[in-house]
Amino acid sequence: MDVLQPDPNKDVTLDTATLRVLAHPMRLALLNHLRHHGPATGRQLAAIFGIDSGAASYHLRKLAAGDLIDEDEERGTGRDRWWRALHRTSFHDPAQSPDQEAGRAYAQALVLAYADTLRTLAGQVPLLPQDWYGASIFSDYTLTITPDALNSLKSELVAVINRYRDAPTGETAVSVQLQAYPLLEPRIATD
């Protein structure tokens, strides 16, 4: 099966301890911001995400303890600590996870972080330049397939992503999100 393979120089494979660090949507949001937009201070991140600077500092220290970010000492002054992401992508294969509970908590936090990103994007869609709006895709497809067929589909899609992943750098970072999951029956509250 083709899978999106981590580049040991640019990516990190998540172990149980790191999964636990990332099992918080705010930490994922902060890490993704540093990955996509480059180094920032805790105060800047607090303002961007509308959180207290103390909370931002706490989450940044947790990410640093997990070896996901580090202090960018070249940018720092005595007052402001600048943080940078150490890896471009985090890899977690649920099928290979030694700690299913930590893996599921991370996946839940990841979905919550994606939901927040999509809410922000919703306000930006009307502002997208026409060429980027025309090139974007906002779709979902309902398929009726087995877990094995979903794994095959995932492999094919990842193979396509791999072809573009290390292509020459373009002018604009683009987020490609891939979610595939069973549509479970909604839970109905009972008295």
Please tell me the predicted confidence (pLDDT) of residue 53: 94
Q: Is residue 122 part of a domain?
A: yes
Token reading at 152: 């095959």
Positive or negative, the Cα torsion across 68, 12, 149, 98?
A: negative
Angle between helix axes 42-49 and 25-37 (nearest 10 degrees) is: 110
118 — phi, psi (to 5°)? -65, -35
Please tell me the predicted confidence (pLDDT) of residue 6: 67
* Amino acid letter, 10: K
Q: Which residues pair with 69 in a beta bridge?
A: 85
| Residues in CB range of 96: below 8 A, 6 or more apart | none
Please tell me the predicted confidence (pLDDT) of residue 130: 95
Domain span at residue 49? 11-128
Q: Is residue 105 part of a domain?
A: yes
Q: How many whole angstroms separate alpha carbon 158 and alpha carbon 89?
A: 14
Q: Is residue 4 part of a domain?
A: no
Q: Is residue 33 part of a domain?
A: yes
Q: What is the CATH number of the domain that holds 98?
A: 1.10.10.10
Please tell me the predicted confidence (pLDDT) of residue 3: 56
Global pTM reads 0.75
Pairing of strands 40-41, 82-85: antiparallel
Q: Edge-to-edge strands of the sheet including 82-85? A: 40-41, 82-85, 69-71
* Amino acid letter, 105: A
Q: Is residue 182 part of a domain?
A: no
Q: How many whole angstroms separate alpha carbon 64 and alpha carbon 83?
A: 9
Q: Is residue 159 part of a domain?
A: no
Q: How many whole angstroms separate alpha carbon 29 and alpha carbon 45?
A: 10
- The per-residue pLDDT string of the chain (191 residues; one tens digit each, 9 = 90 and over) reads 445 566 777 778 888 888 889 989 899 999 999 998 899 999 999 999 999 999 999 999 999 999 999 998 888 776 789 999 998 777 777 767 778 888 888 888 888 888 888 888 899 999 999 999 999 998 888 999 999 999 899 889 988 888 887 777 777 878 888 888 887 777 666 65
What's the domain count of the chain? 1
Q: Is residue 139 part of a domain?
A: no
Please tell me the predicted confidence (pLDDT) of residue 4: 57
Pairing of strands 69-71, 82-85: antiparallel
Q: Is residue 68 part of a domain?
A: yes
Q: How many whole angstroms separate alpha carbon 183 and alpha carbon 41?
A: 40
| C-alpha dist (Å) from residue 49 to 8, 98, 118 | 30, 32, 14
